[in-house]
Amino acid sequence: MEYTHLGRTGLRVSRLCLGTMNFGPHTEEPDAHQIMDVAHEQGINFFDTANTYGRQVSLGRTEEIIGNWFAQGGGRREKTVLATKLYGDMGDWPNEGRLSALNIRRAVEASLKRLGTDYIDLYQMHHIDRATPWEEIWQAMEVLVAQGKIIYVGSSNFAGWHIARAQEAARARNFLGLTSEQSFYNLLERTVELEVLPAAEAYGLGVIPWSPLNGGLLGGVLRKEREGVRRVSGRAASVLADKREQIQAFEDFAAELGQEPGDIALAWLLTRPAVTAPIVGPRTLEQLHAAVRALGVTLDQKALARLDEIFPGFGPAPEAYAW
């Protein structure tokens, strides 16, 4: 396993991050525990979750599954860089969601209890809260750091402007501020290259891409469709209808290279500026092993250029949309 620093921090994390969103709704607890054990065996030390994950079963269920796994001991907690998130509503009453100081305090205590730990390594804001001032947010986070309940703070789904505002407000308080940004980023969805990635690079944030295979569309979906092992519906079907020609060209190119499409998609992300670790969210052990396999794929400049031809990015801002 390869390791790298999370942004400008001294924290070392694996180049793959284990996403746990499927634990509970799609992966039963014993299977989830086995996936986490094998992730450790493969050297993955970076796990990501959120307080709202598992809500199809019960709110907080995914954190509970992770907490039960930690309770088995064997250094499971100590070997894990644990990231969780807050923002989404955890109830119907006011102040049970978003980023007020009150909800930050309540949400972290609830997550700590479900996770069965006394600290969270990376506490992430799942979305920007435009109604709460940064002075309030940072004061609440500073208290949690001082109490030892969290170590680092991260963001998710922030725009470049939000990152800049957050970091300048933190700078004024002599606070470390954000250390990472979790964004929707893959070959099919490269919007963050316009503003978010440059902001992350400028402020020293590690980028943690979520949905690196775009809901499976970069995982050989057309081949699986022909083999009758996958049927696409909903948003994925709409994207597939619009991008079928590109996706077919991508799968053909992966075949030329003798690699699985999903391995190419993950390997490409690992070449991107500021990217620390894509989040892989396996439902099964087979999917976990497939993600780890991607670490062995090397893409030369010719291959990277061909991928840019198939899935053109936007180029740097503002030149991408202005002179």
Write out the catalytic residue numbers. 53
**Which among 118, 17, 34 is positioned nearest to 286, based on CA atoms?**
34
Give the other-Cβ count within 10 Å of 92's Cβ.
7
Angle between helices 234-257 and 301-310 (to 10 degrees): 150
**E strands, the chain, where?**
3-5, 12-14, 17-19, 46-48, 81-86, 120-125, 150-156, 178-184, 206-210, 279-280
**Which among 43, 41, 38 is positioned nearest to 27, based on CA atoms?**
38
Give the other-Cβ count within 10 Å of 266's Cβ.
27
Cα–Cα distance, 307 to 218 (Å, whole number): 12
Say if CB 7 and CB 179 are below 8 A apart.
yes
Backbone angles phi, psi at 74, to 5 degrees: 70, 25
Measured CA to CA in angstroms, residue 39 lies from 141, 223, 317 at distances of: 30, 28, 37
